[in-house]
Structure 1
Amino acid sequence: MFELDYRLQNDCVEVGELMLNRILLMKDANYPWLILVPQRDGISEVFQLDEDDQEQLIWESSFVAERLMDTFNGDKMNIAALGNVVPQLHIHHVVRKQTDAAWPNPVWGAVPAKAYPRGALRQRVLALQLAFETSVFKPAEPPAA
């Protein structure tokens, strides 16, 4: 049975699910930052997914990236799967703008995480759910206001 790593649970809120991936929003208001987590047990690398899941991962990653860029009008989309701290396969999708706190450097450790103001986290989740609205997207319960 799939279980989300406790660090991802602590650092993120759930936006919803696609056919393969759970979509999480990083609790860092510095950037529009989503994480896709393939709902498969014991997977730490993309090559460990079967061929169908690899194809689905690419489709879902592209879908999320395009919707993020459209929603937040970014200058660049950063997509990365590191896993040095959290071994569970998860793929970061970060909308970058030339005006963001870390530009042009990577976001990891550049500046402290910035909490969402009261109510803003819920609004961000609702906006993302609207952007991902399709027959294959299942929204999660938004966080309380």
Structure 2
Amino acid sequence: MFVLDTRLQQDTLWLGDFPLCSLLLMNDAQYPWFILVPRRDDVSELFQLSADDQLQLWQETTGLAEVLKDCFAADKMNVATLGNMVSQLHMHVIVRRRNDVSWPAPVWGRHPAQAYTAEQLAALNARLRMVLTEDFCFVES
């Protein structure tokens, strides 16, 4: 049974599910920062996924990054699997803009997180639901 890592549970907001991955939003309004987590048990590395799941993860990641780049007028998309703090396999998909508070440095650990307000979250959700539903079979449980 798939269980989301407790640190991801603490730091993120669940937005819905793609065919393979749960889509999470890092609860930091300074950056549009998303995390894809394959719903597979005991997976910490890309190579532990089946070949089909590896392809699906890549399709979900690149599809999401493409939509976010346009949706948020990104100057650069940061896409990475790191796992030093959370070993559960997860893919960061972060919208970067030259005017964000950390540019050009990495976002993690740079500034204390600023949680989304209810209004900010509602606006972001409305924006994403429109583009992700049409293009990527985004399904809310």
The reply to whether residue 86 of structure 1 matches residue 80 of structure 2 is no
Alignment of 1:38-117 (within 5 A): 38-117=38-117
Match of 1:124 in 2: 124
C-alpha RMSD of the superposition: 1.2
What SS is found at the alignment partner of 1:63?
A: helix
Q: 8 Å contact 1:25–1:125 — kept in the other structure? A: no
> Runs in 1 of length 4+ with deviation above 2 angstroms?
none
Unpaired segments ≥5 residues, structure 1: 141-145
Task: Sort the Cα spacing of 1:91 and 1:137 in 2 relative to 1 into closer, same or farther, 3 A.
Answer: same
Alignment partners' CA distance in 1, 2:15 and 2:131: 11
Larger relative helix fraction: 2
Tell me the amino acid that sits aligned with residue 36 of structure 1: L
- Given that residues 2 and 41 in structure 1 are in contact (C-alpha distance below 8 angstroms), is that contact kept between their aligned partners in structure 2? yes
Q: Give 3-state SS (helix, strand or coil) of 2:118's partner.
A: coil
Task: Please give the secondary structure, in 1, of the residue aligned with 2:52.
Answer: helix
SS at match of 2:55: helix
The CA distance in 2 between the partners of 1:31 and 1:5, in whole Å, is 22
One-letter amino acid of the structure 2 residue matched with residue 139 of structure 1: E
Q: TM-score, normalised by structure 1?
A: 0.92
Which blocks of at least 5 consecutive residues in structure 2 are unaligned?
none
In 2, Cα distance between the equivalents of 1:53 and 1:31? 28
